[in-house]
Amino acid sequence: MREWGRFLLVRLAGTVVVVLILSIGIFSLVYLSPGSVEQTLLGNRPVTDATRAAVRAQYHLDDPLLTQYLRWFGDAIRGDLGTSIRTGGDVVSMVGNRLPLTLAVTLYGGLLAVLVGVPLGILAAVRRGRLLDRLVVAGSVAGLSAPPFALGLLLLMVFAVRLDWFPVYGSGEGFLDSLWHLTLPAVALGLAGAGLLVRFTRSSLVRELGQDYVTFARARGLSDRQVLGYAVRNSLVPVLTAAGLILTSTLVATVLVEVVFALPGLGSLLVDSVTFKDVPVVQAIALLLTVAIAAINILVDASYLIADPRLRTGGRA
């Protein structure tokens, strides 16, 4: 039992290091944007000697870089990410207002991917080599190769404009209305993930079904359901890996999909902020995504421990 505690600690420490390194990159966005730092931070306000001096003082630009970084990072940890250049508002509350919608779309899309991808993958593996298997695999390739924003446009054309089944834009009010509004974006986001999950689930299950223990389970008279249960349970580790990948890529893909569906989420905030060179907001969103992706990876690692007892007890393979 101590082995898996150590395993998680090591992963956690590694993740903290990665987040620290990335935070340095995010911090230096201020210096990497084109034009002088003062200009970037002043935005559309006139650049005069007076405003320039004010900005230098406000952002402590005369301090050594390391001090600046530590101050920025310390503030970030305490929940202060500065003020938006574009609106002058508090960055944390701006991001906080947009976050629930993005989270909802991401989770909805991820859930659709799992609910569609895993059962289809199981079905394909059980019927491998038959017509159904080939159809599912072909469908998954199509799903995998469609870029979410293009798929979003297609879905909008067909289901919102032509058939008028779903709204064209907006996020809706209340749970059911939101669900209705967010379905098309979630489908656009989840389809690629579903395709990936079909492939992972299918290949992993096909491998398990060929194992000796499956034949032995049949030979000692276990029911088909029990035998499939053995194999599905044991094919889980690669599927978990895929699910983690899908969740992170869905998070990133929301940026464009939110723009397509005109959803006021983090993605559209990011696009607006980049357009206006609103560096503090871009930094905040980048930092948030970094932490979220790191957290998802830790969760995936932890779920390995549940899925595979050999890791839990440090047993030999």
Partner 1 sequence: MRALLEVRGLGVTRSRDGETVTLLSDVDLAVGPGESVALVGESGSGKTLTARSILGLLPAGLTATGSIIVDGVTVDGDPAKTKPLRGERVALLMQDPFTLLNPLRRVGPQLADALPSAVRRNPAARSQEVERRLAEVGLDAKVAGQFPFQLSGGMRQRVGVAAALVRDPVLLIADEPTTALDVTTQREVLRLIRRVQADRGMGFILITHDLRVAFSMCERVLVLKDGRVVESGPTQEIRANPREEYTKRLLDAEPSLDKPLPPWPGAAVHDAAPALLRTVDLSKTFPGSASPALDSVSITVHEGEAVGVVGESGSGKTTLARCVVGLETPTAGSIEFAGKEFDSWASLSGADRRRLRGDVQMVFQDPYSSLNPMRSIGATLSEILHAFGKPSRRPDAEALLERVGLPTAYAQRRPAALSGGQRQRVAIARALAAQPRLLICDEAVSALDVSVQAQILELLRELRTDLGMALLFVTHDLAVVREITDRLYVMQGGRCVESGPTDRVLTMPEDAYTRQLLQAVPREDPSWLNRRRTPPG
Binding site for partner 1 (CB under 8 A): 129, 211-213, 215-222, 226, 230, 233-234, 307-310, 313-317
Give the sign of the dihedral formed by CA 30, CA 31, CA 36, CA 37: positive
163 vs 219, which CB is nearer to partner 1? 219
Tokens of 4: 């898996």
* Smallest separation (angstroms) from partner 1 to the CB of 289: 34
* Smallest separation (angstroms) from partner 1 to the CB of 224: 9
118 vs 209, which CB is nearer to partner 1? 209
* Smallest separation (angstroms) from partner 1 to the CB of 135: 20
Name, in order, each residue with C-beta under 8 angstroms of 66's C-beta and a sequence gap of 6 or more.
none
151 vs 307, which CB is nearer to partner 1? 307
* Smallest separation (angstroms) from partner 1 to the CB of 248: 26
- Rounded-to-integer distance, Cα 211 and Cα 206, Å: 9
* Smallest separation (angstroms) from partner 1 to the CB of 8: 17
* Smallest separation (angstroms) from partner 1 to the CB of 126: 13
CB atoms < 10 A from the CB of 279, how many?
23
25 vs 229, which CB is nearer to partner 1? 229
23 vs 235, which CB is nearer to partner 1? 235
78 vs 316, which CB is nearer to partner 1? 316
